[in-house]
Structure 1
Amino acid sequence: MNNRFIFLLSVVGVLAAFATAWLTGRPTVAQPPVFNPAQNPYAQGIYANGIIESAQSHGQNVNIYPEVSGTIRRILVSEGDAVRAGAPLLQIDDSIQRATVAQLRAQMEAAATTLQALRAQPRKETLAVSQAQERQARADLETARNQYDKQQRSYQIEPRSVSLDALDTARNKLETAQAAHAVAQRQYELTRAGAWSYDIRNQERLASAADRAYQAAAALLDRYTLRAPVDGVVLSVNAALGSYASPQGVYDSYTQGALPALVMGADTGQYDVRCYIDEILISRLPAPERIVAQMAIRGTNVKLPLQYVRVQPYVSPKIALSNQRQERVDVRVLPVIFRFTRPRDVRVYPGQLVDVYVGRRN
């Protein structure tokens, strides 16, 4: 019984071995590709990596950096929002600068008030007091003069009627009253003349300096709100509430470098493709009027013709990995910019990598 069971197991094992050998020996039929790889449509076309950007008349996408440092308190837009030039995008904590502006405004208003007070001199109340003092001094002078004249006439009529000491005292009182009246009269004229022109000019300069300091502080306060420099679309928001921003940008933990707080692109319905031509292939580039190009979108069978726009005439290091100039690479490339209009049934985004072939028009 046991021998028969062992024999059956052996037969099954042999059959399984033959089946396995037959199955593994069958030729494997390759699966058709999901999409066809990009093929060179030109006889001597040059291949290049390309990156899609929003269409710009000059340069690349608009990278927005803060002009001041501080903690981000509000983010007013989302990625994909269409904004107008001047629209607020992001706000940095401005509490200290706002207090500084308030202080400088108070100083500016105080300086302006002082200048206004100088220009309004003399005050009618002050002028009235000075005038009253001049009248009093004049009345005292008349009294002293009358007293002296009486005693002098009496002395001339009868010398024994007035002593010389009394006559000298009356003369001294007259001279004192004359001096007091002269001082009161000059003081009245000084009061009536108003503020000194030099004091007014000096206060004008102080008021102007205070106003400029206030205007500068207010302009700096406005820098705590990042605004859209142009009409366009918000492509990327690299900031987060509570993160620290500076004129160098916002720290990115992935690249361990600084990124712009926001990136904006144009909303024109057209896109640019920035191609990087290897420096050893630059000599094979056709003349600008004879350049033709085709773009293949990776992961699809979509191929679109490209229109030549311009060459960025500076061969720079290829920094496609981290977008940082510190990236150590041995390859240098020449950027060439093309343009295309996105078909309605094709979905592409700025920042997307594409395959580009550059050829020569016959």
Structure 2
Amino acid sequence: MKQRLLFLLAFAGFLAGIVAAYVYGVQQPPRPPVFAPASNPYAHGVYAEGIVESDQATGENINLYPDVTGPVTRILVHEGDAVKAGTVLLTIDDSVQRATALQLEAQAQAAATMLDELKAQPRRETLDVAQAQVGAATASLKMAQDQYDKQEHAYMIDPKAVSKDVLDNLTNSLKVARANLEVVTRQYQLTRAGAWSYDIRNQERQAEALEKAAAASNALLSKYTIRAPADGVVLSINAALGSYVSPQGVYDTYAQGQAPMLVMGSANARLAVRCYVDEILIHRLPDAKALKARMFVRGTNIELPLEFSRIQPYVSPKIELSDQRTERVDVRVLPMIFRISQMQGAHLYPGQLVDVYISAE
């Protein structure tokens, strides 16, 4: 019984091996590719890697960096919003700078008030006091003069009637009264003349300096409100509420580096492709008027014609394309910009990499 069971199991294993060998030996036909790889559509074409960006008349996308530091308090736009020049995009905490600006404004107003006070001199009440002091000094002088005249007249009649000491004291009192009258008279003239011209000019300079300091402080205060520098579309917001921003931008946890606080593109809906041609292929490019190019969207069968826009006539290191610091920097490329004239149902976004072939015929 055991031998028959072993024979059946061995025979079953033999049949299973034959079936498996047949099944695995059958060759499956290859599946068609999901998309056709990009191929050179020209007999003599130059390949360049391109990146999609908004169509700018000059330059690239607008990277916004703040001039000040602090946490973000408000974000008033969303990615994809079309904004006009001057639109408030976000705000940064300005409590300290606002207090500083108010303090300088108050100091400037105080300096201006002091200048007005100097220019308004003499004050009528002060002038009346000085005039009254002159009158009092005049009366004192007259009283001292009368006493001296009486004692002198008595001394002339009878020298024994008035002592010499009394007469000397009256003489000294008369001199003091005259000197006091001269002092208060000059003080009255000084008060009547008003503020000194040098004091006025000095106060004018102080008021002007404080006004400029207040204006500079207000100008710095306005930097805490980030506005759109031009009409455009918000492409990317890298800051969040409460995140700390600085003139170096904001820390990007994904790239582990500094990124612009906000990126804006052009206001129109057209897109462009910035491609980089290797420096050893530049000589193969035809005249700019005869440039033709086609773009292939990676991962799709979409092929789009491109319209030549301009060339940035500066050959730059290839490191600017990938931003990889380990990349060789002795390879340099020529930036060329083409417009995407026909979208044809393609879903493209700024920052997307594409393959570009430029006719070298």
TM-score by length of 2: 0.89
Partner of 1:201: 201
Unaligned residue ranges in structure 2 (runs of 5+): none
The 1:320–1:301 alpha-carbon spacing in structure 2 relative to 1, beyond 3 Å, is: farther
- Please, which moves more after superposition, 329-338 or 5-14? 5-14
Matches within 5 A, 1:1-362: 12-150=12-150, 158-159=157-158, 163=162, 165=164, 168-319=168-319, 322-323=322-323, 326-329=325-328, 331-343=331-343, 345-360=345-360
CA distance in structure 1 between the partners assigned to 2:321 and 2:121 by the alignment: 73
Offset, 1:284? 1.3
Q: Would you say the 8 A contact 2:304–2:343 is kept in 1?
A: no
Q: Would you say the 8 A contact 1:154–1:161 is kept in 2?
A: no
CA distance in structure 2 between the partners assigned to 1:4 and 1:18 by the alignment: 21
- Please, which moves more after superposition, 259-268 or 168-177? 168-177
Q: Would you say the 8 A contact 1:141–1:174 is kept in 2?
A: yes
CA distance in structure 1 between the partners assigned to 2:306 and 2:198 by the alignment: 72
CA distance in structure 2 between the partners assigned to 1:167 and 1:139 by the alignment: 20
Unaligned residue ranges in structure 1 (runs of 5+): none
Q: Would you say the 8 A contact 2:137–2:180 is kept in 1?
A: yes
What's the CA shift string for 1:14-56, capped at 9, x where partnerless? Answer: 5544443443333422222332222221110111111010011
Offset, 1:57? 1.4
CA distance in structure 2 between the partners assigned to 1:173 and 1:254 by the alignment: 95
The 1:344–1:267 alpha-carbon spacing in structure 2 relative to 1, beyond 3 Å, is: farther
CA distance in structure 1 between the partners assigned to 2:125 and 2:260 by the alignment: 63
CA distance in structure 1 between the partners assigned to 2:252 and 2:33 by the alignment: 37
Q: Would you say the 8 A contact 1:38–1:296 is kept in 2?
A: yes
Q: Aligned partner of 2:72: which letter?
A: I
Matched residue SS, 1:32? coil
Matched residue SS, 2:350? coil
CA distance in structure 1 between the partners assigned to 2:347 and 2:149 by the alignment: 115
Percentage of matched positions with identical amino acids? 57
The 1:81–1:18 alpha-carbon spacing in structure 2 relative to 1, beyond 3 Å, is: same
Offset, 1:176? 2.8
CA distance in structure 1 between the partners assigned to 2:151 and 2:264 by the alignment: 101
- Please, which moves more after superposition, 190-199 or 78-87? 78-87
What's the CA shift string for 1:104-127, capped at 9, x where partnerless? Answer: 222222222211211111111111
Q: Aligned partner of 1:328: which letter?
A: E
CA distance in structure 1 between the partners assigned to 2:286 and 2:264 by the alignment: 32
The 1:31–1:200 alpha-carbon spacing in structure 2 relative to 1, beyond 3 Å, is: same
Q: Would you say the 8 A contact 1:144–1:177 is kept in 2?
A: yes
CA distance in structure 1 between the partners assigned to 2:326 and 2:236 by the alignment: 22
Q: Aligned partner of 1:219: which letter?
A: A
Q: Aligned partner of 2:327: which letter?
A: R
Offset, 1:304? 1.6
CA distance in structure 2 between the partners assigned to 1:20 and 1:5 by the alignment: 22
Offset, 1:130? 0.7
Matched residue SS, 2:319? coil
Aligned residue pair count? 359
